[in-house]
Structure 1
Amino acid sequence: MAALIGRDLLGLADLSSTELQELLEMATQLKSQQLKLHSNKVLGLLFSKASTRTRVSFTVAMYQLGGQVIDLNPNVTQVSRGEPVQDTARVLDRYLDILAIRTFAQQELEIFANYAKIPVINALTDLEHPCQVLADLQTIQEYFGTLAGLTLAYVGDGNNVANSLMLGCALAGMHVQVAFPSGYAPDAEIVEKARAVANNKTEVVLTHDPKAAAEGAHILYTDVWASMGQEAEADNRLPIFQPYQISEQLLGLADPQAIVLHCLPAHRGEEITEEVIEGSQSKVWDQAENRLHAQKALLASILGAE
């Protein structure tokens, strides 16, 4: 993966289809311990949003590679006191080897990437969640043995996860069908970018009908109906999104061998039922574990681990 050494990952479209597949293969080999890599580097985590899986999986991945991690909580750095982003970026560039950022605005991430010479990874913004989708695709490939030609149905809010899923599926040669209520569409520019990547070889479909999206799908995927920063809207969103719940009835419309994914945390009884997330078709816990392996592959590739 020499092509990724020193590069940023600000969104999934930063990868080619070949690079994506090679990352997934490396993640699989790391998980099975067929491949062991070492990188004595320092990763900085600058997280403005709460995190369980992203924080722990990045930390463990870097430690397992033989590196170190510095948790740069904004509340105990000068970022919380108004230091300009570009100043923080130029200083961290002198201390760290790589930086993973979890924040609200994609623009903030891009400023860091512009002012820091070290690689910058998008660990989540309001626009995209590329590292999550790397793990999602690894999980799907583990179960089906392939990605090309499969259909993923995402039902719910057209949020950052939906955006990255459209790009990731297009890169992987998969069809993706996104069902959402009126007024909660995915980002229009991301939709066009995903369709350009798909290049008429696969479909990127938008619909308001969750049943139509789920029909015959190989993967059903959902996320919370109110993301971080939208908590005040949660109660108002409940009746709007209720028809988009992944229930046993909706799962029954999918392919008989379909799997269910959720990036977590899950609000059981809202976007997904208890029966489905705990059912035999749920691969949610494998999906969560694969955050570790996919991100380890990403770190190793960018850092040039040996």
Structure 2
Amino acid sequence: MKKNPIRKSLENRSVAILFDKTSTRTRFSFDVGVYQLGGHPIVVDSGKSQMGKKESYQDTGAVLSRFVDAVVWRTGAHQNLHDMAETATVPIVNALCDDFHPCQILADLLTIKEKKGELKGLKAVYLGDGANNMANSYMLGFATAGVDITIAAPEGFQPEQRFVDRAQARADETGATLKVIGTPDVAGADIVITDTWVSMGMDADRDTSALTPFQVDEALMATADKDAIFMHCLPAYRGFEVSAGVIDGPQSVVFDEAENRLHAQKALLEWLSLNNR
């Protein structure tokens, strides 16, 4: 996909790209990606449509299926996607919801593959707010890929048990290990990851002081493997979840990671198109 970015797999096809939440990387990467595959992206902000207001998500799915060849949707409740998929006859792609961010995980796994040459058996540690959609996605996605994943988060910021159980089932299948710990321990980690402490749609005034010891700084990175990489899905807040020295330092791969959103999502759309999903 990177070597031959301009393709015709979506030629004469249209993709609806719907946003209930603000976006930079998701919007640009899907919009550009559809163009590069020869398709026509139709970007709509939810405030400018009847979705979920005067029209149900089920009806919207049925109608959009008559117009477009796929729907990419950045929404709130995960159930919204299920509701639209009930009646849609075209693929519905989760571009982010309150529970998961699967397209980001595809990009992250691609980035790790490029940097490390393998996935299975690598050790990843995610630090900070373990109760958000990124932590859920890392548990599920990395366990599926055979990457050992540890969520390091203080009490009150750890993932819901239902997400842990789901990821553990995948880990049991692939041989990966899954841990949830309450200390900022990255000893021997190949991949160190964090995310913003206040996720989109959350209370900006909530007390995050318990997360301060989980900041990824130079001292913490020094305890990881000497060839460890640092990842962050962005946007980042330097001086909070990560120090400027780490995110702007030689171990950071955050901008390669961001670029890979484009390539991973194009591969997904092309796969859906070629397999008539």
State the TM-score bracket (shorter-chain normalisation).
Answer: over 0.9
Asked if structure 1 preserves the Cα contact closer than 8 Å seen for 2:120 and 2:146, the reply is yes
Amino acid at match of 1:232: A
Structure showing greater relative contact order (alpha-carbon pairs closer than 8 Å, 6 or more residues apart): 1
Aligned to 1:145: 117
User: Do the aligned partners of 1:176 and 1:204 also contact (CA within 8 Å) in 2?
Assistant: yes
- Give the equivalent residue in structure 1 for 2:232: 262
Asked if 1:285 corresponds to 2:255, the answer is yes
Matches within 5 A, 1:33-44: 33=4, 36=7, 38-40=9-11, 41-44=13-16
Is the aligned partner of 1:106 residue 2:78? yes
Change (3 A) 1:34 1:122: closer
- Partner in structure 1 of residue 151 of structure 2: 178
In the TM superposition, what are the counterparts of 1:1-306 in structure 2 within 5 Å?
30-33=1-4, 36=7, 38-40=9-11, 41-79=13-51, 81-158=53-130, 159-199=132-172, 201-211=175-185, 214-234=186-206, 236-237=207-208, 239-304=209-274
Q: Is contact 1:119–1:302 with CA below 8 Å preserved after alignment? A: yes
- Rounded to whole Å, the distance in 2 between the matches of 1:101 and 1:88 is 12
Shift of 1:89: 1.6
- Moved segments of 4+, more than 4 Å: 34-37
Aligned to 1:21: none
Change (3 A) 1:231 1:42: same
- The alpha carbon displacement at 1:34 in A equals 8.6
> What whole-Å deviation, never above 9, does each CA across 1:220-275 have from its counterpart, x for those lacking one?
000000111114334x22x1211111000110110000000000000110000111
Report deviation, 1:195: 1.1
Q: Rate the CA distance shift 1:171–1:209 in 2: closer, same or farther, 3 A.
A: same
C-alpha distance after superposition, 1:68-92 (max 9, x if no partner): 0001211111127432222222111
Q: Which residue of 2 aligns with 1:25?
A: none
Distance in 2, Cα, partners of 1:145 & 1:35: 25
The percentage of counterpart residues that share the same residue type is 45
Q: TM-score, length-normalised on structure 1?
A: 0.86
Counterparts of 2:52 and 2:171, CA distance in 1: 41
Contiguous gaps of at least 5 residues in structure 2: none
Amino acid at match of 1:120: I
Relative distance call for 1:80 and 1:109 in structure 2 (3 A) is closer
Shift of 1:185: 1.6
Q: Is the 8 A contact 2:9 2:273 kept in 1?
A: no
Aligned 8 A contact 2:6 2:37 in 1? no
Q: What is the rounded CA distance, in whole Å, between the counterparts of 1:231 and 1:277 in structure 2?
A: 25
For residues 180-226 of structure 1, give each alpha carbon's deviation from its aligned partner in whole angstroms, at most 9, with x where no partner exists.
11112223222111111111712100001112xx1110000000001
Question: Whole-Å Cα distance in 2 between the matches of residues 54 and 115 of structure 1?
Answer: 25
How far does the alpha carbon of each residue in 1:158-182 deviate from its partner, in whole angstroms, 9 at most, with x for none?
2111111111111111100101111
CA RMSD of aligned residues (A): 1.7
Q: Is the 8 A contact 1:37 1:305 kept in 2?
A: no
Q: Deviations over 1:23-79 (max 9, x none)?
A: xxxxxxx11229955222111111101100011101111100000000121111112
TM-score by length of 2: 0.94
Give me the whole-angstrom Cα distance separating, in 2, the residues matched to 1:271 and 1:130. Answer: 22
CA distance in 2, matches of 1:151, 1:129: 20
Aligned residue for 1:242, secondary structure, equals helix
What SS does the aligned partner of 1:123 have? strand
Letter in 2 for 1:132: Q
**What secondary structure sits across from 2:205 in the alignment?**
helix
**For 2:197, what is the secondary structure of its paired residue?**
coil
